[in-house]
Chains A and B, each alone.
Chain A
């Protein structure tokens, strides 16, 4: 393991108030993620996985504690810098794919390059390259509704990769897929992790999906239950 962590989470807590009671979605989590790692985060639903991702991605502000990405304290960043972080440093993969319905596979993948300031034609070229990499070179002009669930998740993976992020946050990437398709998606993520040296943090509640992880973090009730090094 290299010395400097890419992401450092220190005593991180996020409480919500719901109908008068305080819900501790995260309650004092300490974690470090290193460059090039593949880390699985396992826990039942409600254990705080999504909250952790929202905080690492700067979509949410913590009640207590700190998140450092590349040594920078996210609390010090304004809305513009956080948008830049989400665009250039972090790629997102969701359980329900979250592709833009009116855009083709190619345009979906190219969209983040627009926010990154790349000319559209260049973005399309990069998108095509990535769609070929994930095995969808023959589906460039298809709308999400014309693709299978597994293919949609591949498009989402290509979209997450297109701005060459350091980190990919995958929140239950196989949750809406059948077992075999899910295994293939995880295989693809692990291949990208090795070949492109992108740090992948994948949340799952399915213990079968943690094979091949460098580390497994077990979350329960907003706390780290154990960390397993493989």
Chain B
């Protein structure tokens, strides 16, 4: 044998990850929770700062929104790993390494985080423009807005670390015996 190993690059992970996101029911739930949290973040980021108390109060609300989104995402990703137990076993049987499985799940999280963040930015800016007549489209702080994407991908990836680790460590023999 050559000492060579198997391949599964970023492009491959994106291709397979997109199929899973499209083909399974959980992705919309993840995207919805991330977009709500990031819409809220975008809304707050765009606000002209009021009194100190109001600012602290909003930050607390934001914190809660982020935690709720992260917990929900972690739960949904874990369910998605359990439901795919057997298929992950099959991937390992076909030559996937542990790190390939890990990469696949993190890329899925990344895609969902980006989509959720995009929707969140849209929702957040629209609600800002509607509720705050003193801010116009040209007056929007785009730097603050783009930090929303950073937050959404971060929530998504961090909350998927444990589910992806579980998937990676899965024993293919047990996984192939597993009945859903």
- A residues sitting closer than 8 Å to B (CB atoms) are 54, 57, 59-60, 70, 72, 77, 79-81, 83-88, 92, 94, 98, 100-103, 107, 111-112, 114-117, 120, 143, 159
Contacts and interface: CB of A to CB of B under 8 A. Distances in A.
Contacts of A59: 92-93, 172-173
A103 B1 contact: no
Q: Which of B7, B22, B93 has the most CB of A within 10 A?
A: B93
Contacts, number: 83
Contacts of B93: 57, 59, 86, 92, 98
Contacts of B98: 79
A86 B19 contact: no
Interface of B: 1-8, 11-12, 15-16, 19-20, 22-24, 86-87, 90-98, 100, 172-173, 176
Q: Which of B6, B8, B176 has the most CB of A within 10 A?
A: B6
Given A102-B23, A115-B8, A83 B176 contact: no
B18 to A, nearest CB: 9
Contacts of B94: 86-87, 92, 111-112, 115, 159
Contacts of A100: 87, 90-91
A11 B7 CA distance: 34
B2 A84 contact: yes
A115 B96 contact: yes
A92 B172 CA distance: 13
